[in-house]
């Protein structure tokens, strides 16, 4: 989809469909919607007065212009109540409207910038939300169908703003929105890819390709190097599969010395549970267990384009967790690269094991000064927070606040859970430094804290995205399936930290 900003009046734009908007409760629309209404001889206000357009959030109504203006159709999207309006709502209605336009076969789509008028948002921010919503809302994935249904994709997206100054600002925002949405859609693509098409080695190849395309440094470790480094926790998980593990590192250099932000993403390309085998029902969903890894590759690719003033590395431990004659067994003890020993009481709690070595590596070998790990870590996160919010656990409130702030700006919901020392009692082992499970109570917290044991005193945040990485139902700007959660939060975080 080609995206352009057109500094002209919406009444002069030739397109298949022009998107305008309406706040709930407005009876006679002003601004751009009002101008269209006038050109259509009051059709929109007439429909409002008969209750056919209400302006409710995400409501869409399509009308034909009958040649009265160059746009063939008008799509009025509801913004909801003006007092409740936010950039996230702008993103939502943009996704809803674009999806509706696409379904009706629209190729050349034009839109006003929702929220930049009486919505009171800055034109750059509103344009960013518009482009994010549009690109996220229309991203489809059909690679594995032999026949694809013909929904022609939108070819051109025109952002119409007649005020020259606002149009110029919108151009900046639109660029940012495009970069973030493309990176998110890239992560979604990786997540949805089945495990037979995405092994740890293939994931490493994809990362190498991203490095080449976005001018990032790329490094990879195989089992030999892991052995030398003493990464017994990561190697232990990989033992049950014929697919070799990889530890993938992508680096972005800002040119500014000092801080180095490590984004560490769980890259389990398939999690059958190992010897602590998962039940068959729903096991297929465990191809998404690399969503954290996908998020950090997506994030660093966007970071390479947006160039924040902070060094960033993406570290992805990638492995498959399968049961096999060589697989690690419940009760085994492994040693991570920092020398800590872990009793593996449940082989299905493998994310924390591979992350233990990845976090230690980021800190001890790559010089990370701040660490954010992101992982589909626990079913308990789904129980606690559902499919609405990701869980956050941290050893450093300043970094936690920075991540929460970045998430808020991205429209991604993140909720901090407590990290009291008492929880650490739950994963004491009788024979090793710690065990890899802390029992059912507070499973998301103990899972996170176990990873934190390998961050030492480096400021660290853990994000559990088990409930948010994959959705069974559609949301306004996310179709069902992989969400690419985390990408935009992590990019915002790097930008914010770079500005300090
Ligand atoms: N990958 C799973 C967690 C998961 C659950 C991700 C649902 C996405 C959706 C993880 O490796 C796992 O199996 N965790 C166990 C931990 C337990 C054994 C302590 C779990 O949550 O049951
Ligand atoms: Zn597991
Ligand atoms: Zn897992």
Please work out whether the CB of residue 6 comes within 6 Å of at least one atom of ligand 1. no
Nearest CA to ligand 1 atom 7: 379
Mean pLDDT over 65-86 rounds to 97
pLDDT higher than threshold 70 for residue 115:
yes
The ligand minimizing its distance to the Cα of 381 is: 1
Please work out whether the CB of residue 464 comes within 6 Å of at least one atom of ligand 1. no
Mean pLDDT over 10-26 rounds to 97
Classify 61 as helix, strand or coil.
strand
- Ligand 1 pocket test, pick from 348, 391, 439 with the greatest ligand atom count within 8 Å of Cβ, gives 348
Please work out whether the CB of residue 351 comes within 6 Å of at least one atom of ligand 1. yes
- Which residues have a Cβ under 8 Å from the Cβ of 420 and sit 6 or more positions away? none
Please work out whether the CB of residue 445 comes within 6 Å of at least one atom of ligand 1. no
In angstroms, what CA-CA distances link 241 with 318, 372, 468?
12, 28, 27
User: Which pLDDT tens digit goes with each residue over 348-364?
Assistant: 999 999 999 999 999 99
Residues of the chain above pLDDT 90, percent: 94
The Cβ-side half-sphere exposure at 460, using a 13 Å CA radius, reads: 25
Report if pTM > 0.85: yes
How far is ligand 3, taken at its centre, from the CA of residue 316, in Å?
14
pLDDT for the residue 472: 87
CB 311 within 8 A of CB 249: no
Confidence of residue 12 (pLDDT cuts 50, 70, 90): very high
Please work out whether the CB of residue 349 comes within 6 Å of at least one atom of ligand 1. yes
- Ligand 1 pocket test, pick from 272, 292, 379, 443 with the greatest ligand atom count within 8 Å of Cβ, gives 379
Q: State both tokens at 458.
A: 């480096």
Q: Which of 68, 50, 70, 467 is nearest to 292 (CA)?
A: 467
What are the catalytic residues?
A: 278, 352
CB 454 within 8 A of CB 433: no
Please work out whether the CB of residue 348 comes within 6 Å of at least one atom of ligand 1. yes
Partnered with residue 264 across adjacent β-strands are 315, 373
What are the backbone angles phi and psi of residue 146, rounded to the nearest 5°? Answer: -75, -30
Please work out whether the CB of residue 37 comes within 6 Å of at least one atom of ligand 1. no
pLDDT for the residue 148: 66
Average pLDDT over the chain, rounded to an integer? 96
pLDDT for the residue 418: 98
User: Measured from the CA of 273, which atom of ligand 1 is nearest?
Assistant: 13
pLDDT for the residue 117: 85
Nearest CA to ligand 1 atom 14: 378
pLDDT for the residue 474: 82
User: Which pLDDT tens digit goes with each residue over 322-348?
Assistant: 999 999 999 999 999 999 999 999 999
User: Which pLDDT tens digit goes with each residue over 438-455?
Assistant: 999 999 999 999 999 999
Q: How far is Cα of residue 402 from the mean position of the Cα atoms in its chain?
A: 17
User: Which pLDDT tens digit goes with each residue over 140-157?
Assistant: 776 777 776 667 789 999
User: Measured from the CA of 351, which atom of ligand 1 is nearest?
Assistant: 11
The ligand minimizing its distance to the Cα of 346 is: 1
How far is ligand 1, taken at its centre, from the CA of residue 349, in Å?
6
Nearest CA to ligand 1 atom 13: 348
User: Which pLDDT tens digit goes with each residue over 153-182?
Assistant: 899 999 999 999 999 999 999 999 999 999
User: Which pLDDT tens digit goes with each residue over 355-413?
Assistant: 999 999 999 999 999 999 999 999 999 999 999 999 999 999 999 999 999 999 999 99
User: Measured from the CA of 436, which atom of ligand 1 is nearest?
Assistant: 19
CB 362 within 8 A of CB 283: no
Q: Which of 87, 170, 494 is nearest to 305 (CA)?
A: 494
């Amino acid at each position: 989809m080609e995206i352009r900003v057109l500094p002209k009046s919406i009444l002069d734009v030739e397109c298949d469909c022009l998107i305008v908007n309406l706040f709930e409760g407005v009876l006679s629309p002003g601004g751009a919607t009002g101008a269209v209404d006038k050109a259509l001889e009051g059709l929109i206000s007439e429909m409002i007065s008969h209750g056919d357009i209400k302006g409710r959030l995400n409501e869409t109504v399509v009308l034909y212009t009958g040649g009265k203006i160059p746009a063939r159709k008008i799509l009025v999207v509801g913004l909801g109540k003006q007092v409740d309006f936010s950039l996230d709502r702008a993103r939502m209605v943009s996704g809803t409207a674009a999806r509706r336009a696409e379904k009706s076969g629209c190729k050349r789509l034009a839109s006003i910038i929702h929220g930049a008028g009486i919505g009171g948002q800055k034109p750059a921010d509103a344009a960013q939300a518009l482009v994010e919503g549009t690109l996220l809302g229309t991203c489809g994935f059909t690679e594995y169908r032999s026949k694809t249904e013909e929904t022609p994709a939108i070819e051109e997206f025109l952002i119409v703003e007649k005020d020259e100054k606002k149009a110029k600002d919108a151009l900046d925002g639109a660029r940012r929105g495009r970069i973030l949405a493309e990176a998110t859609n890239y992560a979604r693509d990786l997540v949805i890819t089945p495990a037979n098409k995405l092994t740890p080695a293939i994931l490493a190849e994809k990362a190498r390709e991203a490095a080449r395309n976005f001018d990032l440094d790329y490094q990879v470790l195989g089992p030999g190097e892991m052995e030398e480094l003493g990464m017994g926790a990561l190697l232990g998980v990989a033992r049950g599969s014929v697919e070799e593990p990889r530890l993938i590192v992508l680096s972005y250099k800002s040119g500014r010395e000092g801080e180095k932000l490590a984004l560490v993403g769980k890259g389990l390309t398939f999690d059958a549970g190992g010897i602590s085998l998962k039940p068959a029902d729903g096991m297929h969903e465990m191809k998404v267990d690399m969503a954290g890894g996908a998020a950090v590759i997506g994030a660093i690719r966007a970071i390479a384009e947006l160039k924040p003033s902070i060094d960033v590395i993406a570290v992805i431990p990638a492995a498959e967790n399968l049961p096999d004659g060589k697989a690690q067994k419940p009760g085994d003890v492994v040693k991570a690269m920092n020398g800590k020993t872990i009793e593996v009481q449940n082989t299905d709690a493998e994310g924390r094991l591979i992350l233990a070595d990845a976090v230690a590596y980021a800190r001890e070998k790559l010089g990370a000064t701040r660490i954010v790990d992101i992982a589909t870590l626990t079913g308990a996160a789904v129980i606690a927070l559902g499919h609405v919010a990701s869980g956050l656990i941290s050893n450093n409130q300043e970094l936690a606040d920075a991540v929460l702030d970045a998430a808020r700006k991205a429209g991604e919901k993140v909720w901090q859970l407590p990290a009291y020392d008492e929880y650490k009692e739950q994963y004491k082992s009788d024979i090793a430094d710690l065990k890899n499970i802390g029992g059912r109570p507070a499973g998301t917290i103990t899972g996170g804290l176990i990873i934190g044991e390998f961050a030492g005193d480096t400021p660290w945040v853990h994000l559990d995205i088990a409930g948010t990485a994959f959705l069974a139902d559609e949301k306004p700007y996310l179709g069902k399936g992989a969400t690419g959660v985390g990408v935009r939060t992590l990019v915002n975080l790097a930008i914010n930290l770079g500005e300090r």
